[in-house]
A and B are shown apart, each in its own frame.
Chain A
Amino acid sequence: MDLAARAFPALLLGAVNTVIYCVSSFPIALLLGLLLAVMASSRFIWFRAPARTFIEVIRGTPMIAQIFILYYGIGALLGVYGLAGLINAWTAGIISLAINYAAYEAEIFRAGLLSVDKGQTEAAYSLGLTGSQSFFRIVLPQAIPFMIPPFVNDFIYMLKDSAIVSVISGTELTSVLTFWVTRNTSDSFPLYFIAIVFYLLMSLPTSYIARLFERRLRAAF
């Protein structure tokens, strides 16, 4: 119990860092995902093919490989130009989380945009709206309610997947946990308990909110 009391502040700080990682990379993932979704559903193969390739490659490789490529590979390449300072655990973690999730958000955006009836776009065109106007004012606002539950789900996944930042020595909940566990292997169960409770405290309320949203949405339609 003494050990748990000593480790608690560090673990709490780790949990805060986990949230910071996710909160800062999720908006980037959303923006990139929207861009990818628009590109992937474009008529022009110049946009479509690169977006599809990007999505397939990101979804086909493990995140740990991506984060290693970014942190060690790109870090070393940038080091040649004296830019090694650009890649540290924070930037590499946030960028790789954002890139990884962008591929998944793109699929959600695509499904959401497809769920809006084509007649809406046609109506917008017949009213004289331009392509971007009809997209941003007609299609996107109608698609967003359908996309919020999967987005929240993905945010919860990200809260958990951000544990991977610990392999590139970023400071978040799992790396703090590993730090304390490797120094107190004989009685480490309280540490695991605290960490698991922290993760559950982060993810369960979020998933509850998502479920509430979903129910309200179903009631609305």
Chain B
Amino acid sequence: MSDIYDASQVAVEELQARAVARRHTWLLVLDLLFGAVAILLVLAFFFYLYAFRQLLLLYLPVFLDGTRITVLISLASVIFAVVFGLIGVAGRLSRFSVLRWLATLYVEVVRGTPILVQLLLWYYGVATALTQMSIDPYRLVYSLATTLQMNSLFQDPNFDPYLFGIIGLSFNYGAYLTEVFRSGILSVERGQTEAGLSLGLNSGQIMRHIIFPQAIRVVVPPFTNNFITLIQDSSLLSILGIVELEHQTFGLALPQVDPNNKMFVFIFGALFYLILCYPLSLLARYLEARIARAY
């Protein structure tokens, strides 16, 4: 009886194993099929680029120039954003309630309003107010650069959009970075500060030697993520008339009569952003995974 049972059990198991194997073969076939389709799609995309090769070769230098401007603006903005963020976090963690209150106001107002409105406020509002006070930032910067014997850097009289665009972008991201820095500093345990104090370090030394090295690990991944969104948001500066990547894209695309050409130029411009941002987002994910593993 038990022999029969065992035999039937074995038979059933064999059947099941065979079914599983069959299913696995099916899955394997499906996966291989997918690989083929994916390769075809990638080839199709390259063929799409090839089909529009005349436009591509004609516009490539223009797009590369736009990319250069986008990268330069993003780098300049991220540097100033770090400055704003450090000032903000110094205010938020300050002992004086007025400074804390001001920093909180800065963070809440900036994070509560669209960056587009802020850029318009800087470019139209603040610039107009400065003009009414007969202050010309371009002339100021130019004369300062002249005394430093480097005014060849500021030959472009179309200076205002760059200045206020970069200020607006970095002022906005400074608020986000304030929060990033704050959470980084607060992530370091209080006991660390106390240990530093008991070793006789002063507060500056504690910041530099104890808190900063530990906070930076927590800060870097969200910082990278913010940098990615900053690169993307720098496309809004095209509204102020800065000829960067997005401005070049729609400047070339909108006059196109053929809808297919128009679509191609838009997609080509977006591709440059993807090339800029995707490696950075891979980097951010790698850093996040590394930090998650460390603890």
The CA of A76 and the CA of B257, in the complex, are separated in Å by: 9
Residues of A within 8 A of B270 (CB): 61-62, 65-66, 69
Question: Is A136 among interface residues, defined by CB-CB distance under 8 A?
Answer: no
Contact of A69 among B31, B109, B116, B263 (CB under 8 A): B263
The residues in A between 178 and 221 inclusive whose CB is less than 8 angstroms from any CB of B are: 178, 181-182, 185-186, 188-189, 192, 195-196, 199-200, 203-204, 207
Does A79 have its Cβ within 8 Å of any Cβ on chain B?
Answer: yes
In the bound complex, how far is the Cα of B121 from the Cα of A49, in angstroms?
42
Known A-B contacts A77-B260, A160-B113; A72 and B120 likewise in contact (beta carbons under 8 Å): no
Interface string of A64-87 (1 = CB under 8 A from B): 111011001110110110000000
Name the residue among B115, B259, B274 with the largest chain A CB count within 10 angstroms.
Answer: B259
Looking at chain A, what size class is its interface with the partner chain? 35 or more
Do residues A73 and B253 form an inter-chain contact, with CB atoms below 8 A? yes
Query: Which of B142-150, B157-165, B228-236 is the interface stretch?
Result: B228-236
Check: A25 CB closer than 8 A to any chain B CB: no
Q: Within the complex, what minimum Cβ distance (angstroms) separates A67 from chain B?
A: 10
Shortest distance in angstroms between B218's beta carbon and chain A's nearest beta carbon?
18
Quote the shortest CB–CB distance from A111 to chain B (angstroms). 12
Question: Does A166 reach chain B (CB closer than 8 Å)?
Answer: yes
Which residues of B in the span 123-169 have a Cβ within 8 Å of any Cβ on A? 124-125, 128-129, 132
Indicate if B223 sits at the interface (CB-CB under 8 A): no
Segment of A52-60, A124-132, A138-146 engaged in the interface with chain B:
A52-60
User: Are B259 and A62 neighbours in the complex by a CB distance under 8 Å?
Assistant: no
**Residue in chain B with minimal CB distance to A166:** B116
A154 contacts the other chain (Cβ, under 8 Å)?
no
Interface contact B232-A61, CB-CB below 8 Å: yes
Q: Which residues of A contact B281 (CB under 8 A)?
A: 56, 59-60
Chain B's nearest CB lies how many Å from the CB of A173? 8
CB nearest to B127 among chain A residues: A185
Interface of A is mostly: helix
CB of B212 within 8 Å of the partner chain = no
Q: Is the interface of B mostly helix, strand, loop or mixed?
A: helix
| 8 Å CB contact of A161 from B114, B125, B249 | B114
Determine whether B273 belongs to the interface, using a CB cutoff of 8 Å to chain A: yes
Q: Is the CB of A177 closer than 8 A to any CB of chain B?
A: yes
**A174 located at the interface, meaning its Cβ lies under 8 Å from any Cβ of chain B in the complex:** yes
Option from A44, A60, A76, A163 in Cβ contact (under 8 Å) with B278 = A60
**8 other contacts beyond A68-B253, A196-B109, A203-B112, with CB at 8 A cut-off?**
A49-B38, A62-B246, A62-B270, A164-B116, A164-B236, A185-B124, A189-B129, A204-B112
List of 3 A-B pairs having minimum Cβ-Cβ separation, nearest first: A76-B259, A163-B114, A62-B232
Q: Can you list 30 residue pairs at the A/B interface with Cβ under 8 Å? A: A45-B34, A60-B273, A60-B277, A60-B281, A61-B232, A61-B270, A61-B277, A64-B235, A64-B236, A65-B269, A65-B273, A69-B270, A73-B266, A73-B267, A74-B263, A76-B263, A77-B259, A79-B259, A160-B113, A167-B239, A174-B117, A181-B120, A181-B124, A181-B125, A185-B128, A195-B113, A196-B109, A200-B108, A200-B109, A203-B112
